[in-house]
Amino acid sequence: MGKHAAGAHIVWDWNGTLFHDNDAVISATNAAFGEIGLEPITLERYRELYCVPIPRFYQRLMGRPPTEAEWERMDTAFQRHYTLHRTACGLADGAELLLADWRSAGGSQSILSMYGHDELVPLVREFGIESHFLRVDGRTGPSGGSKAEHMVRHLGALAISGVAPGRTVVIGDAADDAVAALHAGAVLYTGGSHSRASLEGVGAPVVDTLAEAVGVAQRLAE
């Protein structure tokens, strides 16, 4: 990694990126579908169709937008079942070492997630990695929306802390991460919510491992 990381900043996504929670997500999704009589789907099908805002993802499966009552039932079921299943999930392979190496090389990093802020912060702390990050920001407000407005606030707070926007790169597993990145660079990782085919149409570099993502982020931030 070396001296080129010095002064560069990575904004990490959490779910599906640093936190390998695919099993919990698909279990919770199928529980949500069961609330309104939809058939369960496989992880492969999920990754082909997933998009935000989440009601649009449900529309792709249902052939129509969910009603407000259906959305509330599915979202409540998803959050409840995800909380139960996430306890069996861990960090992505090699994530701890990558975080430590980036910090040791003089780079800074933060987390921005659409997972609820009050749930995210103690979970990051549980894994003993909180000290690697300048900020850990989760979603505030209703679930199911885009990350873009949250990214504006996150990047603004980082800029106040002295992080250079031109040397900031977002690493995530969803097309929405690249859209939300605005003027920062973005690298998309195939290990989470999207298939490679879904990500390749976004225009950001697509990689299969977090180690590759960090390498690309380093080059983009130079």
d(CA 139, CA 113): 6
Q: What is the dihedral of CA 37, 38, 43, 45, to 10 degrees?
A: 180
CA atoms within 13 A on the CB side of 125: 8
d(CA 207, CA 213): 6
**pLDDT at residue number 171:** 95
* CA 55 to chain centroid: 18
Mean pLDDT by 10 residues, the chain (222 residues): 72 96 95 92 91 87 90 93 96 96 95 95 97 96 78 90 89 84 80 87 88 91 76
**pLDDT at residue number 61:** 85
User: How many residues are given for the chain?
Assistant: 222
Model pTM score: 0.89
d(CA 79, CA 108): 31
Q: Contacts by 203-210 with C-beta closer than 8 Å and gap 24+?
A: 203/178, 204/178, 209/94, 210/17, 210/18, 210/92, 210/93, 210/94, 210/95, 210/98, 210/171
d(CA 168, CA 218): 9
d(CA 108, CA 132): 8
